[in-house]
Amino acid sequence: MTRRSSGGPRPTENRPEGSTNDQRLLDSRGSGDWVHTDPWRVLKIQAEFVEGFNDLAEVGPAISVFGSARTPVENPSYALGEKVGAALANAGFAVITGGGPGAMEAANKGANEAGGQSIGLGIELPWESSLNPYVTFGLNFRYFFVRKTMFVKYSQGYVVLPGGLGTLDELFEAMTLAQTQKITQFPIVLMGVEHWSGLIDWMSQSMLSDARIKASDIEMLTLTDDVDEMVELMVRARDAR
């Protein structure tokens, strides 16, 4: 597959330095600016949805892998990401990441070098300008909410490596969508017991004990360091569909 771009930042776009399309859309709330500009933005948003659906429709069973863009190559999480990407590719899954550096690059690298589909869904950010070199099929998006829809729609499971705010955003969005029955629940595996166990403990001791969530909400998550266990869970879910 060749790398293509779907609505990503264009070098010729005249936009303030450091700003993004998301920022300009959301910063205009209540200003009346929508009368003049937002209808045109709606057309751009629509185009991103149409192009994303069109370009990803033929992708086979796929797993999205999330993790910190700030993970250095020498960090153990990078090596773990490579193993995850390779193992998923060897099991017949396409690997979808955000297309950035760090843990995302590691998963794309593992999938690519194992001969699998290595997909990157990039986003317009002030500090990132291109997809990592291990992406074999890539799309760039202006709007976060369009990109996040693609992750959910075309993935049969999530693997979550150690990460920061963006990683937590993807994790909790998937859990919320499943809890509210907006999507059919799929496997969510947290890779890295040392990194994620504190979060699970807090959810159990604070949220669950106060009845703000149910035990079934935490049970959506599988916490492991074992790549083979992760792959087995994804394969079992795929075969049960």
* Domain contains 218: yes
Determine the Cα–Cα distance for residues 189 and 166; give it in Å rounded to an integer: 16
* Domain contains 129: yes
Q: What is the pLDDT of residue 206?
A: 96
154 has pLDDT over 80: yes
Cα-based angle 117, 120, 122 (whole degrees, multiple of 5): 170
Domain carrying residue 100 = 21-240
* Domain contains 4: no
* Domain contains 8: no
Q: Which of 6, 117, 20, 9 is nearest to 65 (CA)?
A: 117
What are the pLDDT digits (tens) for 80-137? Answer: 999 999 999 999 999 999 999 999 999 999 999 999 999 999 998 766 568 999 999 9
What are the pLDDT digits (tens) for 165-185? Answer: 999 999 999 999 999 999 999
Q: Which of 60, 90, 225, 45 is nearest to 155 (CA)?
A: 60
159 has pLDDT over 50: yes
Determine the Cα–Cα distance for residues 76 and 41; give it in Å rounded to an integer: 42
* Domain contains 70: yes
* Domain contains 7: no
Sheet holding 137-141, edge to edge: 137-141, 118-123, 94-97, 62-66, 158-160, 188-191, 221-224
Question: Into how many domains does the chain fold?
Answer: 1
* Domain contains 12: no
**pTM, to two decimals:** 0.86
- For residues 3 and 173, which has the higher predicted lDDT (pLDDT)? 173
Residue whose token pair is 């609505």:
7
13 has pLDDT over 90: no
216 has pLDDT over 70: yes
What are the pLDDT digits (tens) for 24-50? Answer: 666 765 555 555 566 778 888 999 999
Q: Between β-strands 158-160 and 62-66, what pairing exists: parallel, antiparallel or unpaired?
A: parallel
- Residue 57 belongs to domain with CATH number: 3.40.50.450
* Domain contains 234: yes
Q: What is the pLDDT of residue 126?
A: 67
| pLDDT range class, residue 8, cuts 50, 70, 90 | very low
Q: What is the pLDDT of residue 21?
A: 74
